[in-house]
Amino acid sequence: MLKISRKDIAAVKTDMAVLFVSENKSLYKGSATADLVKRAKTYPEFDGKAGSELLFYDISGVAAGRVLFCGLGKAKDINSESLRAAAGRAVKKGIGMKLSSIALCVPEVDLPDPEELPSAGPVMEGACLANHCFDHYRGKKEQKPFKKIVICGDSGAGVIDDLASRISLICKGTLLAREWVSMPSNDKRPDLFARSIVKASAKEELKAVVMDDRDMKKNGMHAILAVGAGSSRRPKMVVLEYSPKSWNKSVVLVGKGVTFDSGGINLKPSSGISEMKMDMAGAAAVAATVITAARLNYGCRITGVMPIVENMPSGDATRPGDIVKTYSKKTVEIDNTDAEGRLILADALSYAEKEYKPDMIIDMATLTGACVVALGEKLAGVFSPDEDLSAGIVDSSKRTHERCWNMPLPEDYKKLLKSDFADIKNVSSTRWGGAITAALFLSEFVKTKKWCHIDIAGPAYAAKGGDYAGPGGTGFGVRLLLDFLEGV
Ligand code: BES
Ligand code: MN
Ligand code: ZN
């Protein structure tokens, strides 16, 4: 999908060449390119401010049909995310203009963080991620992504080529997760979603196992079964195992896979309920991460555990007040059937820990509206009893701009989960601090300190899309987890 060209931008035959411009500094060494930018800046409507744009047509001496100038603002303010965003906007614009080819010219800037990739990295990433349209359900496909995106940049010795192939794979993983999250729930009932994951993993060196409701009954996973009881489709649990020939560390990733969250008997209000097709975004991110880690030959052993259910009301549905025994043998009073994510994760987490004895467990879940209240729609909440682990996730979040914020796990709040009838209840007795009490509930089902919970209820879905994403699933978490796992 990404093609590297070492030609001068003026010589690249394309529908649209894209140049990046700062307010105060030239970002290109080539004199022809620098001259073009100078000419663009003579127009008062274009000054290189962040987000500003100018389009030239039919420039003599330039092979491209058009040249798009994209403002990045002051040179010192340019960072990976502003490059991702600008590249993404350029690609989206090209798709909107129904062009069939595009070439982006990598600007020469030193990014602020010394750990960061060369500027070609975020340019390729933003371009790749923006080059996607979720249009399977439209009769007429109005906009088509580019078949390939040309990246013009020198940096010899094949560095940029390796970067391009790695970034292509990582973005492909993010887009896979997006597709799953955007897919309507009628096409991803638990059995269908489970099969789709197995199918997507089939070409990689992965072991895929799907547990059905009978297996879960045998294993005593009554929390998952209780959440799925109201649906006409039985729950599944998908386990994807990536095990390279020699590995030192093993990680289990657990992902919440609620294919639709109606709330169950505690039915959700109708406004915005259709967005609850995204309640399997944790499982989508985990599946896409394991598949991509295999493609990239990561060095650690990675197991994805994805409990998949549909939370529906019916005559067979679990009632508020019902008590179930979990895989861990602890009993849970289901005080609210809409707090279903923590129930399926309880079984999945304790199963993952007991069965795989990993060096660490990370779960990802669209767990609480309270986390969205706390951190807004762009940031995920990170909860871990282990400071090194949460710091590692937060570091990855800075590199990938899949932003995470470290949250507390105060021991004394645990009493809010006391039940009069069972070992624990699934909702707190107060509505305050709902993201924290949800995380504390999960903590009751993990013994190791090397556990981290990531609440992605906010960033998993973007109704309006972003600079490098259309409306729908964002694929949040795939780049984050891959970055983190690369360092394990
Ligand atoms: N899937 C929801 C959380 C959610 C909310 C995800 C908004 C994405 C956007 C979760 O299952 C849920 O319903 N949580 C309840 C918990 C409550 C009943 C304690 C919530 O947040 O209201
Ligand atoms: Mn719910
Ligand atoms: Zn839910």
Which pLDDT belongs to residue 114?
Answer: 65
Active-site residue (options: 89, 188, 342, 425) = 342
Bridging pattern class, strands 424-425 and 380-383 = unpaired
- Kindly state if the Cβ of 455 falls inside 6 Å of ligand 1: no
The amino acid occupying position 75 is: A
Residue type, 99: L
pLDDT tens digits, 323-359? 999 999 999 999 999 999 999 999 999 999 999 999 9
Range 175-486 classified under CATH 3.40.630.10: yes
Q: What is the pLDDT of residue 37?
A: 95
Residue 159: predicted pLDDT: 82
Q: In a 10 Å sphere around its CB, with 0-12 CB exposed, 13-18 middle and 19+ buried, how is residue 245 labelled?
A: exposed
418 belongs to the catalytic site = no
pLDDT the model gives residue 116: 72
Residue 434 has pLDDT above 60, yes or no: yes
The answer for residues whose C-beta is within 8 angstroms of residue 272's C-beta and 6 or more apart is none
Task: Indicate whether 155 pLDDT > 70.
Answer: no
For residues 226-247, give the mean pLDDT: 98
Average pLDDT of the segment spanning 148-177:
89
**DSSP notation for 221-234:** -HHHHHHHTTSSS-
Instruction: Verify whether ligand 1 is closer than 6 Å to residue 265 (CB atom).
Output: no
pLDDT exceeds cutoff 90 at 158: no
Measured CA to CA in angstroms, residue 407 lies from 71, 227, 433 at distances of 36, 27, 11
pLDDT(279) > 90: yes
| Mean pLDDT along residues 99-122 | 89
Amino acid of residue 352 = A
271: CA distance to ligand 1 center in Å?
Answer: 14
- Report the SS3 class of residue 241: strand
pLDDT at residue number 399: 96
**Residue from 159, 118, 152, 121 nearest 33 by CA:** 152
Residue with tokens 């005593």: 220
Query: Which tokens belong to 376?
Result: 């807004």
| The residue type at 243 | S
The domain ranges of the chain are 2-152, 175-486
Integer Cα distance of 367 and 458 in angstroms = 9
Q: How confident is the model at residue 112 (pLDDT cuts 50, 70, 90)?
A: confident
Closest residue by CA, ligand 1 atom 14:
368
Using a 10 angstrom Cβ sphere, with 0-12 exposed, 13-18 middle and 19 or more buried, the burial of residue 370 is buried
Would the CB of 279 count as within 6 Å of ligand 1? Answer: yes
Q: How far is the CA of 185 from the centre of ligand 2 (A)?
A: 15
Label residue 156 by pLDDT band (50, 70, 90).
Answer: low
pLDDT digits (tens, 9 = 90+) for 203-217: 999 999 999 999 999
Torsion of CA 198, 203, 205, 206, to 10 degrees: 0
Q: What's the DSSP call for residue 466?
A: B
pLDDT band at 32 (very low <50, low <70, confident <90, very high): confident
Per-residue confidence band for 53, with pLDDT thresholds at 50, 70 and 90:
very high
Question: Which pLDDT score is estimated for 339?
Answer: 99
Going by their DSSP bridges, the two strands 66-71 and 16-21 should be labelled as parallel
pLDDT tier, 157 (very low <50, low <70, confident <90, very high otherwise) = low
Q: How far is the CA of 280 from the centre of ligand 2 (A)?
A: 11
| CA of 371, closest atom in ligand 1 | 21
Ligand nearest to the CA of 457: 1
Atom of ligand 1 nearest to the CA of 367: 3
Which DSSP letter does residue 414 get?
Answer: G
Q: Higher confidence at residue 155 or residue 55?
A: 55
Mean pLDDT confidence for 419-439: 98
Q: What b/e readout covers 193-211, taking b as 16+ CB neighbours within 10 angstroms?
A: bbebbbebbeeeebebebb
Q: What is the pLDDT of residues 363-381, one digit of tens each?
A: 999 999 999 999 999 999 9
Nearest ligand 1 atom, CA 261: 1
- Quick one: average pLDDT of 276-290? 99
Average pLDDT value over all residues in the chain: 97
Q: What is the mean pLDDT of residues 68-73?
A: 98
Torsion angle of the four alpha carbons 1, 4, 104, 13, in this order, in degrees rounded to the nearest 10: -100
Task: State if residue 226 touches ligand 1 by the CB under 6 angstroms criterion.
Answer: no
Tell me the pLDDT band of 118, cut-offs 50, 70 and 90: confident
Q: Which fold has domain 2-152?
A: Leucine Aminopeptidase, subunit E; domain 1 (3.40.220)
Q: How far apart are CA 247 and CA 33, in angstroms?
A: 47
For ligand 1, is residue 434 a contact (CB within 6 Å)?
yes
pLDDT for 368 equals 99
Q: Which residue's alpha carbon is at the smallest distance from atom 16 of ligand 1?
A: 339
372 CB near ligand 1 (under 6 Å)? yes
Cα of 415 from ligand 3 centre, angstroms: 23
Check if 339 has its Cβ closer than 6 Å to any atom of ligand 1.
yes
Active site residue 342: yes
What's the gap in Å between 362 CA and the centre of ligand 3?
18
CA distance 444 to 114: 39
